[in-house]
Amino acid sequence: MSTIWTHKDSNIRKTWFLITIFLVLISTVGWVFSRIYGNPGILIFAVLFSTITSLISYWYSDKIVIATTGAKPIPESAYPELHNIVENLAITCGLPKPRLYLVDSPQPNAFATGRDPEHAMVAVTSGILQMMNRSELEGILAHEMSHVGNRDMLVSTVVVVLVGVIQLLSDMFLRSMRWSRMSNDNDKGGGAGQIQAIFMLIGIAFAILSPFIALLIQLAVSRKREYLADASGVLLTRYPDGLASALQKLARDNTPMKQANHATAHLWLDDPYQGKKKTVNWFSNLFMTHPPIEDRIKRLKEMSL
């Protein structure tokens, strides 16, 4: 039987392995496009542009998510038990107590966001407060606090920057192919022209395929961070059955969420669109922001402290 620590370490390694693949992909795409145009500044521009725009989103992540979900602050007087659970978890993991928000939705769900632990917020839906008992709620909140402690917003921002670089490079290349004339072999010898043509074909292939590959890697990183938050959350509560029981209830629920948004879907405890689709094979799993909930439950039940 695997331990919580082996689950946690495994998912950390897999996350960094995927990010390494990302960096290799960007370097390859950037080198090919720079070779075609003879201008290394293309890669530098794409990296700077994607980094700046993503950092702005990262810095204001809590405000953006609050605006898109309509979350409202939860006064301690209204939900003292919720505040008590979060405060105890914050003390256990050595983090500041995050701000608590309520999303008025019957779908049971929760998320955490914020650029760092000092600016973190945890939001729960009204549906999750009605459905879960204390141990289940504690498991859910420990999972969300683990996202804060694991700096998942920072990891997510790094991944978004990498995806943005690839998409921007691909878009620039395809637009230039459409609107500009590239140098032909009139200026060069036949051999040089053939080499240029080969690089052009490689560039077209990269421009078409690399954004798709980048998306798959981004989704894979998101799924690994969910597994990591499950394992880290159990380390806080020392009770895997609490989160497993909560996930079992989520698996049986098909309540829609009107606040669901594709830009923030990866933040939630469970995919807010999950009730609208059924995963039937491994291929469809590749396009999910979250691991199959049945697999998460299975892993939790197999964990030993």
Q: Which residues are annotated as a binding site for Zn(2+)?
A: 143, 147, 226
Q: Which of 136, 144, 294, 302 is catalytic?
A: 144
Cβ(121)–Cβ(114) below 8 Å: yes
Tell me how far apart the alpha carbons of residues 160 and 58 are, in angstroms, rounded to a whole number.
10
**Is 144 labeled as catalytic in the residue annotation?**
yes
**What gap in Å lies between CA 155 and CA 218, rounded to an integer?**
10
The catalytic residue positions are 144
